[in-house]
Amino acid sequence: MAGFLRGKQAGMQNDLSAAILPGLFAPDDQARFGINSQIGALAYDPIQSLLAVGTNESPFGSGQIYVFGQKRVQQTFKLPRRASVKTLQFCADRLISLDSKNEVIIWDLQFGKMLASYAPPGVVTSLVTDPMLDWALIGMQNGEVIAYDLDRQGLAALRLPNFWRERNPRSRFMAVVSMQLHPRDIGQLLIGYTEGAVIYSFKQNKPIRHFQYELPAGAPGGYPDPASAENARKPRLVQVLWHPTGTFIMTAHDDESLVFWDPKDGRVVMARTLADTHVDKPGTHSKSFGNTPGTLALKDSFARIAWCCKSNPDDTGLLIAGGAPDTSRQKGLTFLELGVTPVYATSTWQMLTDHFEGKSRHLLPTPPGAEVVDFCLLPRASPHFAGAQDPIAILALLNSGELLTMSFPSGHPISPTNQLPPSLAFVHPFITSITVSAVDRGRWLGMTENRQQGPQLLRGGVESIKPLRRYEARNVVSMAHGDGTIRIWDAGHGDELENSASLQVDIARALDRYDEQIIITSMSMASVTGELCVGVSTGEVIIYRWGGNRLYGREATAPTETQRGAITDISARSEPSLKEGLQPFSLYDMAQGPISIVKLSDVGFVGVGSENGVFSLIDLRGPAVIFTATASELTKQDKRSSFMKKPSSQKSPRPEWPVAIEFGVMTVEGDNYSSILCFVGTSMGKVATFKILPQQNGGYTAQHAGTAELSDKVVSISPIVSDTGKPAVATGATVAALRTGQQTHGSLVVVTESEVRIFKPATAKGAHKTWDSMFCYSAAVTEFELHGFALVGIFGDGSTRAYSIPALKEIGNSKLEMLDKTRLPSTIVTQSGDIFGWTGPSEVAMLNVWGTGQPLPMSHDKLFNPQALIPPRPTISNLQWISGTQYVSPTDLDLLIGGPDRPPSKRMMEAAAAEDRQARLGSPGSSRAPGTQSTEGWGEYMTRQLNERTEKLNIVGDSMDKAQENSQGWADDVSKFVSKQKRNVVLGGITGKWF
């Protein structure tokens, strides 16, 4: 009976929800967008062109691992227990992770699952893998190094003791802090302990060199305080690095000094900081001073250091996070360019020392107040040289948890638009708000921007086959970022994406303000035209239109001046790099406080509301402001209103401002014609209706038709056709039909925080229902295909509910446990029944209420490409091999670590085949005859190596003898030629004089 009465009160004869049964309201968990927690680890594989991101444990859940490829390719790996991801490393077809519970986990990239896990008995402090090895070397807090077999998924027999404790038995706490394999000779491992470093030789099974940095009294070291230089001291080690060719090693210390060593004799080549050199020499003066005279500046700790090289491994430089004075106004990464390394065999010691003075030093800046805590290099092709050969870009992790992509080595910011997936754009930088617009499919397919852009950073993976499109309208998400940019992309409906590209607009450029923070408060995109309207906290509204850029490739010659309260053409503020896309069209400086709401219609009208309570209506045909009113004028009492509440007797009314705007075409109560209507809802529950009427001069004007009064803040306004439930929106077709006198009998479904009303505009009483002891934060009239329409809302108890129209009877109720209860007011409900809600600070869940209660599906995207082969590992040179450097191949190292009883793995057999190919080409890397298995012992191996070197030396000797003989013959020929010429000259003079 209550439903029947509400239908009569609303003036609706049909039950629009008759075919929707309670069991049909079962939300499906469809997708996740964003990152669930703060990022803690990064890794990049240049062979597969994949990026891995690990997150930390938080109140929103355990840490996770995201692996991203091209476009929307993505796989998510969940840790078996709650922990934070500390380290990520790609190793061929595997991804190795180390978490805060000291568990090493092997993930299979080919099948997207966990293969094995190992928890060592102790605290893991360092992890080293190599794409050519089946081993993970694990450094422990007690100073030991153990080896884990990635192929056999078990612990190997190799266990290296604490070599530094053997050198200094009195040391108490000697943890492994850093390790790195030799970039060319895989048989050497550089181990960094707290007090010093050791080079361990697998072939000799012992440490062959020790390095300890000790500052004598009077040497400044990395500390700028002269008082600290009075005594001798030993700074603690924090990281060790090999030179890309293995010619030198570097140790970084906690006093922010960098020490370069000669690994052959263990001498210090250079000790320096970022600004000072020879800091290990007594009497050296530091250049690190504070901002005021007589003060000193402390330095930031080293976060990460990479020894980079170009395609030529001898041309190197250091990329350093940290180590700069903390008084520096500009933070960022420091790139110390060293240049081409001198030839060690022919260079003097002074030349080697001068090399580490550096050619140049420049800063790769970060945003103000942000510091780099970690970074990941993105090499062009090679995974070797510790992933630092010829990098094209840097992905930096800031202390705020945000990401920053920069070109290398210039440090220019790289926009993540169409370079990184939208999920990473959630933290690049953080987003402040999102909106979802139902954009027509045909319009969205044509919205592919043409922008100058570098090569794609992620090219790996293949997207899985998804169902064909379910709706003609696409769920287009607009994300407002903290740096004043907006990125727009299609979230889909769990179906195939025909246009997965993203769009970008720069609000700071449109406002011509770069020196202040831009806070975007409201966004709206038109469904059919694709126009975009953006409101900001400083009171401006920017309108974008799709089109070409007449200033493509160049800047405007003259600045554009704006006027308060007027509309300005800002097309000259377009981005020079954007040839075609969303271009700035007009700017409306409302100058009435922060913009609270904007709404862009498909028929050329824009509604704007500000927090000062002012509402403006803009006609884009001019463009011109055709109506402006204050909140007090919007909410005037209407004599025809029969349900208006008694006016309040308070002397100082609460402030009121527009919070919801919608456009529609329908007949206002009492009229015999339909018209374009604009509905404005306020923060106090008022709903004002305006008629937009044409004028004889071709323009339009707005007329206030009435105001309805509800309770509490308006959440949503949904104009619908009373007979069918279809949206009564203002489109080109419905507006064109007004000329023929066609009438649309519609109703408004208005939801506030405490009630819902269905009534005819502008002031009819209609049907009414209050919510039971809870607030409604978001709502919309949704369509369930082939069944009907229902009102779906998000409520304060963390549930979603559906109500019939017009009876407002509850159809279904479901808890949304995955959503963050503190951010329920930011949840969005779309007309297709999709819910976009925050699950954490930077992650959004997409659900569809008209489902079957399915959980979040697993991704079936393919990550691993078996056709992408890893290039052979760099080896020692011929000269090094002839001079006595014993070469150890990856298969030899497998034998050393795994023992003779370990069956050959798939990697070993492939490596053996590769070595056979090298042997056919005459490479020095081969250590056995082609096509044979190595069964010789180490004594036989050493004998064969010595014989081969002797043979090589004999060949070289023969070549030198032949060269000497050739040189002597050439010298004899020259002597004969000179003698003949002299004789001819003498004879020629005599014959010319006498004959």
Asked whether residue 57 is assigned to any structural domain, the reply reads: yes
DSSP assignments along 38-106, one per residue: -EEEEEEETTTTEEEEEE--BTTB--EEEEE-STT-EEEEE-SSS--EEEEEEETTEEEEEETT--EEE
Asked whether residue 991 is assigned to any structural domain, the reply reads: yes
Mean pLDDT of all residues in 66-85: 96
Instruction: List, in order, residues 6 or more apart from 820 with CB less than 8 Å away.
Output: 60, 837, 838, 839, 840
Question: What are the pLDDT digits (tens) for 897-933?
Answer: 887 777 777 766 776 777 777 777 664 444 443 334 4
pLDDT band at 991 (very low <50, low <70, confident <90, very high): very low
Mean pLDDT of all residues in 595-609: 96
Whole-model pTM: value is: 0.88
Q: What is the pLDDT of residue 663?
A: 97
Indicate the number of domains in the chain: 3
Mean pLDDT of all residues in 855-879: 89
pLDDT-wise least confident of 580-584, 924-928, 954-958? 924-928
Mean pLDDT of all residues in 302-310: 96
pLDDT band at 962 (very low <50, low <70, confident <90, very high): low
pLDDT band at 650 (very low <50, low <70, confident <90, very high): very low
Tokens of 336: 């110390």
Question: What are the pLDDT digits (tens) for 525-542?
Answer: 999 999 999 999 999 999
| pLDDT of 963 higher than 80 | no
The percentage of the chain sitting over the pLDDT mark of 70, rounded to a whole number, equals 87
Asked whether residue 959 is assigned to any structural domain, the reply reads: yes
Cα–Cα distance between 206 and 209 in angstroms, integer? 9
Asked whether residue 210 is assigned to any structural domain, the reply reads: no
| pLDDT of 482 higher than 80 | yes
pLDDT band at 883 (very low <50, low <70, confident <90, very high): low
pLDDT band at 400 (very low <50, low <70, confident <90, very high): very high
Cα–Cα distance between 24 and 27 in angstroms, integer? 9
Cα–Cα distance between 598 and 619 in angstroms, integer? 13
Q: What is the pLDDT of residue 9?
A: 67
Q: What is the pLDDT of residue 956?
A: 46
| pLDDT of 645 higher than 50 | no
| pLDDT of 882 higher than 90 | no
Question: What are the pLDDT digits (tens) for 164-199?
Answer: 988 888 777 789 999 999 999 999 999 999 999 999
Mean pLDDT of all residues in 292-314: 84
> In this structure, what CATH number is given to the domain that contains residue 70?
2.40.10
- Cβ distance 570 to 556 under 8 Å? no
Question: What are the pLDDT digits (tens) for 696-748?
Answer: 888 899 999 999 999 999 999 999 999 999 999 999 999 999 989 899 999 99
Residue with tokens 């490393």: 89
Q: What is the pLDDT of residue 167?
A: 85
Cα–Cα distance between 388 and 382 in angstroms, integer? 8
Q: What is the pLDDT of residue 637?
A: 46
Domain boundary among 75, 96, 119: 119
pLDDT band at 772 (very low <50, low <70, confident <90, very high): confident
Asked whether residue 557 is assigned to any structural domain, the reply reads: yes
Domain boundary among 103, 119, 135: 119
Mean pLDDT of all residues in 286-294: 57
Decide which of 660 and 966 is more confident: 660
Cα–Cα distance between 91 and 784 in angstroms, integer? 47
Question: What are the pLDDT digits (tens) for 7-62?
Answer: 666 668 789 999 999 999 999 999 999 999 999 999 999 999 999 999 999 999 89
Asked whether residue 568 is assigned to any structural domain, the reply reads: yes
Asked whether residue 153 is assigned to any structural domain, the reply reads: no
Decide which of 644 and 471 is more confident: 471
Q: What is the pLDDT of residue 235?
A: 93
Q: What is the pLDDT of residue 701?
A: 94
| pLDDT of 639 higher than 70 | no
Range of the domain at 56: 36-119
pLDDT band at 970 (very low <50, low <70, confident <90, very high): low
CA distances from 520 to 34, 485, 540, 587 (A): 20, 9, 10, 14
Mean pLDDT of all residues in 966-977: 63
User: Counting every residue, how long is the chain?
Assistant: 995
Q: What is the pLDDT of residue 638?
A: 45
Tell me if the bond preceding 226 is cis, omega within 30° of 0: no
Question: What are the pLDDT digits (tens) for 796-843?
Answer: 999 999 999 999 999 999 999 999 999 999 999 999 999 999 999 999
**Measured torsion, CA atoms of residues 736, 739, 740, 741, in degrees rounded to the nearest 10:** 110
CA distances from 537 to 521, 571, 594, 819 (A): 6, 22, 4, 28
Cα–Cα distance between 349 and 343 in angstroms, integer? 11
- Cβ distance 610 to 595 under 8 Å? yes
Domain boundary among 93, 119, 145: 119
Query: Helices 906-920 and 890-898 sit at what angle, rounded to 10 degrees?
Result: 140
Tokens of 260: 């370069």
Instruction: List, in order, residues 6 or more apart from 518 with CB less than 8 Å away.
Output: 483, 484, 507, 508, 511, 536
pLDDT-wise least confident of 498-507, 858-867, 963-972? 963-972
| pLDDT of 945 higher than 80 | no
Asked whether residue 576 is assigned to any structural domain, the reply reads: yes
Q: What is the pLDDT of residue 978?
A: 60
Q: What is the pLDDT of residue 147?
A: 95
Tokens of 340: 């081409």
Q: What is the pLDDT of residue 901?
A: 78
Q: What is the pLDDT of residue 643?
A: 36
Question: What are the pLDDT digits (tens) for 107-134?
Answer: 999 999 999 999 999 999 999 999 999 9
Q: What is the pLDDT of residue 966?
A: 57
Q: Comparing C-alpha atoms, which of 236, 274, 282 is closest to residue 258?
A: 274
Q: What is the pLDDT of residue 172?
A: 72
Whole-number average pLDDT of the chain = 88
- Cβ distance 560 to 515 under 8 Å? no
